[in-house]
Structures are given as C-alpha cells and as structure tokens.
Amino acid sequence: MEIKVRNIEKSYRSGTGRRKKILQGLDLDAAGGECIGIAGKNGCGKSTLLSVLAGVQKADAGSFLMDGTELFSRPRDLSRNVGLVPQAPALMDELSALDNLLMWYPKRDIIKELDSGVLGMLGIGDFLRTRVRNLSGGMKKRLSIGCVMHTMPPVLLLDEPCAALDLECRENILGYVRDYVSKGGLAVLTSHDPMELEICTRHYIMKDGRLSPYSYDGDVTKLVSSL
Amino acid sequence: MTLKKNLAAQLKRFFSFFPISAAVSLVLALIVSVTGSLIYINRKSDETDRIVNIGLTGFLDDTYMDLAINSLTTLDSTRNSVKLVKLGADEADRALRTGEVGAYVVFPENFIKEAIDGNFQKISIVTADGSKSFSSKILNELIRSVAEMVISFQKAVYGYQQAVYDYGYSTEEMYSLGSNMAFRIIDAVLERDGMFRIQAAEPYGEGSLAGDTASGVISGVTAVFIMLWGIVSCGAFISRRDGLSKVMASKGNGAARQTAAEYAAYLVFMLSQILILGLAFCAVFSLTPLREVTGPVPFSFIASLILPVIMISSLQFLIYEASGGILGGVLIHFILGCGMGYVCGCFYPAYFFPRQIQQIARWLPLWQARVHINEVLLSGPVSPLPCVIMLLFAAVFLLAAAAVRRGRIKAEGGLS
C-alpha cells in the first residue's frame, strides 16, 4: 500500500477577516511499513494536515491517492482507510469505555478484539467498565486509538500521541504504533517529542505550509534550529 | 457510525443524569404540592366571603330596565353575594381588567322595545377568561330571574284581563289582545336559553389568569416548570465534545443527524422525567386538597404535557446549542423561561401588561403550551391551533439548532 499526497492547500479566515494559508502545495509520499514523523513550530499546520488527510476538514485543493485511488472524492473509502487519533480524545466522558467502543464497533467484534485483537493489545480490557471521565490521560489515548481502529485502517494518523503522558504510558502507546507499523501499517505522527520521533523511519519538518525532509539523528538542538 | 448507534450512545449519556434528576423531581413534587395546597386552601376560604360584583352596561336608560334591575337585585337568590353595578362601556372594561367586577353584562340597544315587539336580542356576558364556573353562575342567576319574571308576567296578564273587562272591551278584543301577549311571553320563555351569549374579553382572552381560576394557575405554573426543568439537564448539553462532532461529521453523521439523535435522546429523557414527575404529583395531589382541582383527570393531564414537552425541549436544545458555556446557557435558559412565563401570564395576570405585549405574548411558545394544558384541565374541547403552533415551533427550533451545530463544525474547519 502506498499513498501520494499532492499539492494540498488549506487556508483559514483569520481574526482580522483575511485568509491565512496554512498548507501551500504540500506533497507527501509514503508506503505501508513506514512511520512518518512531522515536526514543526506551534501553529505551523501539522494538526490541520492530519485533519485534512483524515477527511475531518476539507482541503481547498489537492489530491490524496491510495494505491492510485483518489480518496478525497470518496469520503466512505477515506473514512475506512484512514484513522485519526486527535490530540484531545474525541470521547463521551459520561459513558464507559465499553459504551464509547460500542459507538464504533459491533458488540461481537469488541469481544473478539479484546480477546486477541487491537483492543486487547491496547489493554482496554482493564478499564472497560470505567467511565471515561474517571480514566487517566494515557487510558483515554489508548481508548481513542481503540475507537479509531474499528475499521483496521491501513493509514493511522496520530496528532502528538504522547503529549502530557508519563513515561510508562508513552512506552505503551509507542509500542502499539511500532507493532502497527511492523504489520504493514503506515503511521504518520506529528510531534515535538524526541521519544516519539525516534520510532519514526522518516522525518519531515513543516514550514511555510510545506514539508521538507529532515534527517533526525536524536540531536534536539539541531532539530530546534531547523524549525 | 450510524444514526442508531449515535442515538443509543446519546440515550445512555442523558440517562446517566437520570438518578439525580429523578430525585430532584420527587422532592419538587412534594414541595409544589404542599405549597399549592396551602395557596388553594387560602384562596378557597377567601372566596367564600367574597361578594361577586357584576357590571351592567349598554342600554340601561329605560324605566323598564330600572324595574328589571331592581327585580334582579330583589330576586337575588345568592343571599346578597352578587352585587349589580351600573357602568359605562369603557368603565366596565376597565373595571373588568382591574378586577373590580368579575364580569359585566351588555344589554343591546333598544332591548326593551325590541323585546316588547317579540324580538329578543342577545345579552352579552363578558368575563375575563371565559371561566366556565363563573359564567354559569351568572347565567343560572339570570335564567332563574327570567323564570321569576315570567311568573310575574302571567300574574300581570290576569290583572290586564280584569282591567280590560272592567273598561268594557268586547270579549273578542280582549281575547285577541290577551292571546297576543301570551304568545310573546311563551316566546320569551322558549327563547330564554338563547337570550345570552358568553364572551371572553379581548385580547387577554382564554389564556390569561384573569378570574384566578385554579386550572389557569396550574397550567401556567406547569408550562414554566417544564421550561425551567431543562436546567437540570444542562450538564448533559454542555459536556458534548465539539471534537467528537467534527469526527462524527467526517464519518457521515453530519450536523442534522447529530442534532436529530441528540434531540431524540433528550426528548425521551424529558418525557420520562415528566412522566415520573407527573405520577409523583398525581400521587401527592390525591392526598392533598388539590384533588378538588385535578379531579379524576390526572392521566389526561400528563398526556396533555407531551406536546408542550416536545416544543419546550426543542427550545432548550437550541438554547444550549447556541450558548458557549454552562453559565451562559443556564443564564439564558433561566431569564428566557422566567421572562416568557411572566409576559405570558404564567405567574401574573397577562392583562396587566400593555395590549401590544399581550398580543405578542399570544404567539410565544409558553402561551401556546399554557392554553393547551388549560384546555385539557378544563376537560373542554382541545383546540387544534395551539397544537399545530407548538409542532411548528419545535420544527423551527430544531432546524435552528442544526444550523448552529453546522456553523460551529464549519467554523472549526470541519465538514458538515
């Protein structure tokens, strides 16, 4: 499986009423088994790029091809093939983890996935009956990933997946991403975190609405000066 | 995600607030019933000592009218509990508004002359609210008086025959005149039920609290109560996630479908709350003096709340959809509920407000809800117009809520 993102453009109307271009002719090529890390300053458009690729926001221009099939014009295919884990988990706080999963999975699939699938791997069985409002940040993130994986999408987009999580939770989440990639999935994650960037096979820096390849060698100082 | 799954999730979400609101319902039922009972008992004891003033206006400058009014006063079988007051047309209207008279009777032009000719024009009885009990009280009194007058007429006919005989008219002439008079009297007796018509004073008409009817008080308080009751659910509205809305929209559940699922869940929640509350009220009412007001119709009363709940819950939905946070939402909800209840005469008689405000109030949601509940409480025919208006209001509020949701998703760059 391979993806080709071409000439993506996206602009917002700013507070002053003028349109501000966030993405300007952005291109990206990637294939299954890769983990793409995107770094960049706050507000440079990383989250917007992931939202556009997941179909949560509409691109002003550009195309998103998966194995030659244009996905922007096929919302159903886009929704099935691309999963987005947003920075703030999109969950219902008053409901239990199980009830949140039931919004996305058929009941029988949850039992199967908890037993020997992605939900089991994420350890969601440990807090299945707990209300989301009582879960820790790490648990919410794992649940959020679990909800996204209901279609087993070949492309997983993660927006700062380990932000504000402790080391154990980070290792837990990143361990899952490594496993996902090793099984042929394509993960694209945005991050400021060296620990997250280390698991990526390729790195990009987002600047002026475009992606530039970057060779990350663990030197954070060098990375910061490149942003 | 399908609409069905979203609806199931929303039902679970709203019903997670159920224990708290059910507990509050039961406490409220007790408080309102006790308070209502005390008010009702006090009002009832006041009424027993109260003289009912009835205004008389229209064609009154006639000797025979004076005689008739004096007869009515003399024949008053209510043991001086009714006092008749002669008033001009404007004075009568003003007196009705200020409560100086409970109703006024309008005699048409040349009433006596027309009556002598056998043309019985209708007498209008104007009450503030078309109150059945009050109107029937006046009507009974007048019919009783007319019956007394007819007996007096028969005595007069006998006296007339004697007089005619004494003055030497021929037998044929005497019988001819006597028959003519007898027919007119028979006409008057036969027509007596059609001699009156009851009308409610405009514009405060059927929905105002004028007349202080118990059903008017209950229907008004109930309408406001349903409106303010939604505040208990504000937590469920405010805790929704805009992020989740965007994700749902990208999965095919756009603003309209999200609104439909959330509103349907909220409506089921509200109806179940009102059912519990209604049953609690009925149970408590049956043990208090309020049973005299609710009578044997508690279930029809609960059923009458379905349409108001559909409309009011859609308005509440719109309020929280449009408001930014919990404080803003609750504040708007409270001010709108109390303000609208006040203007629509739910707390206070509407006729104290300027005429223009009264006319506007007639088209507000709470007015329609109150009129509908009042009609059911009075066990009278239920007018279709308030029902249609309430459904239209609900549709408009929901469309507006969907538009607000769509705008918010779009403002955050999402699809709708």
β-sheet bridge partners, residue B167: none
Domain shared by B151 and B250, yes or no = no
Q: Within an 8 Å CB–CB cutoff, is residue B5 touching chain A? A: yes
Higher pLDDT, A156 or B175: A156
Nearest chain A Cα distance for residue B244, angstroms = 5
Domain shared by B139 and B24, yes or no = no
What is the DSSP code (8-state) at residue A193?
-
Nearest chain A Cα distance for residue B11, angstroms = 10
Q: A91 to chain B: nearest residue by CA? A: B244
Identify the weakest region by mean pLDDT among A4-18, B21-35, B339-353.
B21-35
ipTM for the complex shown = 0.79
Q: Is residue B20 part of a domain?
A: yes
> What is the overall mean pLDDT for chain B?
74
Q: Within an 8 Å CB–CB cutoff, is residue B413 touching chain A? A: yes
Domain shared by B217 and B182, yes or no = no
Range B267-295 average pLDDT: 74
Asked if B13's CB is within 8 angstroms of A95's CB, the reply is yes
**Mutation for B interface: A57, A78, A151, A159, most B CBs within 10 A:** A57
Range B95-108 average pLDDT: 77
Strands ordered across the beta sheet of B196-200? B82-86, B52-58, B103-107, B123-127, B196-200
Q: B243 to chain A: nearest residue by CA? A: A90
Identify the weakest region by mean pLDDT among A28-42, A166-180, B187-201, B363-377.
B187-201
Q: Is residue B9 part of a domain?
A: yes
Q: Is the pLDDT of residue B198 over 60?
A: no
Angle at B20 between CA B19 and CA B24, to 5 degrees: 115
Q: A57 to chain B: nearest residue by CA? A: B414
Range A159-182 average pLDDT: 84
Distance of alpha carbon A144 from alpha carbon A132, whole angstroms = 10
Higher pLDDT, A52 or B231: A52
Which residues in chain B are closer than 8 Å to A88, comparing Cβ atoms? 241, 243
| Total number of domains constituting chain B | 2
Q: Is the pLDDT of residue B209 over 70?
A: no
A196-201, Cβ contacts within 8 angstroms, sequence gap of 24 or more:
A196/A37, A196/A160, A196/A161, A196/A162, A196/A170, A197/A37, A197/A39, A197/A223, A199/A35, A199/A37, A199/A174, A200/A35, A200/A36, A200/A37, A201/A34, A201/A35, A201/A36
Range B259-288 average pLDDT: 82
What is the DSSP code (8-state) at residue B100?
S
Q: Which residue has the tokens 């209207």?
A: B93
Confidence (pLDDT) at B174:
72
Domain shared by B120 and B160, yes or no = yes
Domain shared by B61 and B166, yes or no = yes
Q: Is residue B416 part of a domain?
A: no
Q: Which residue has the tokens 């538009």?
A: B403
- For CA atoms B100, B106, B112, B116, give the dihedral sign: negative
Using CB atoms within 10 A of its CB, is residue B293 exposed (0-12), middle (13-18) or buried (19+)?
middle
Residues in chain A: 227
Q: Is residue B31 part of a domain?
A: yes
Range B56-78 average pLDDT: 68
Q: The domain that contains B79 carries what CATH number?
A: 3.40.1710
Domain shared by B180 and B275, yes or no = no
Domain shared by B84 and B228, yes or no = no
Domain shared by B214 and B307, yes or no = yes
- Given B181, B200, B219, the domain boundary residue is B200
Asked if A90's CB is within 8 angstroms of B244's CB, the reply is yes
Q: How far, CA to CA in Å, does A84 sit from each of A11, A50, A151, A200, B374?
A: 20, 7, 12, 17, 54
Q: Which of A56, A88, A92 is facing B9, going by the closest CB pair?
A: A92
Nearest chain B Cα distance for residue A56, angstroms = 5
- Given B200, B235, B254, the domain boundary residue is B200
Range A29-58 average pLDDT: 90
Q: Is the pLDDT of residue B82 over 60?
A: yes
Domain shared by B189 and B217, yes or no = no
- Given B200, B226, B247, the domain boundary residue is B200
Q: Is residue B271 part of a domain?
A: yes
Q: Is residue B289 part of a domain?
A: yes
Range B71-83 average pLDDT: 59
For residue B144, what are its two tokens?
A: 């009783």
Confidence (pLDDT) at B211:
38
Binned at pLDDT 50, 70 and 90, residue B205 comes out as very low
Q: Is the pLDDT of residue B301 over 80?
A: no
Nearest chain A Cα distance for residue B413, angstroms = 5
Confidence (pLDDT) at B204:
42
Confidence (pLDDT) at A36:
93
Binned at pLDDT 50, 70 and 90, residue B67 comes out as low
Binned at pLDDT 50, 70 and 90, residue B208 comes out as very low
Binned at pLDDT 50, 70 and 90, residue B179 comes out as low
Highest mean pLDDT among B103-107, B203-207, B287-291, B329-333: B329-333
Q: Is residue B176 part of a domain?
A: yes
Domain shared by B133 and B280, yes or no = no
DSSP A112-125: HHHHHSHHHHTTGG
Asked if A12's CB is within 8 angstroms of B247's CB, the reply is no
Domains of chain A: 2-89+153-226 (3.40.50.300)
Binned at pLDDT 50, 70 and 90, residue B206 comes out as very low
What is the DSSP code (8-state) at residue A83?
E
Q: Is the pLDDT of residue A35 over 90?
A: yes
Binned at pLDDT 50, 70 and 90, residue B268 comes out as very high
Q: Is the pLDDT of residue B55 over 90?
A: no
Which residues in chain B are closer than 8 Å to A106, comparing Cβ atoms? none
Q: Which of A88, A82, A23, A25 is nearest to A56 (CA)?
A: A82
Q: Is residue B169 part of a domain?
A: yes
Domain shared by B264 and B405, yes or no = yes
Q: Which amino acid is at B209?
A: L
Confidence (pLDDT) at B52:
67
Nearest chain B Cα distance for residue A220, angstroms = 31
Residues of A with CB under 8 A from a CB of B: 12, 48, 51, 54-58, 75-76, 79, 84, 86, 88-95, 99-100, 102-104
Identify the weakest region by mean pLDDT among B61-65, B149-153, B410-414.
B149-153
Q: Is the pLDDT of residue A186 over 90?
A: yes
Domain shared by B86 and B219, yes or no = no
Highest mean pLDDT among A185-189, B21-25, B348-352: A185-189
Q: Is the pLDDT of residue B217 over 80?
A: no
Q: Which amino acid is at B235?
A: G
Asked whether B123 and B106 are in contact (CB, 8 A), the reply is yes
Identify the weakest region by mean pLDDT among A159-163, A194-198, B132-136, B380-384.
B132-136
Domain residues for B36?
3-43+209-411
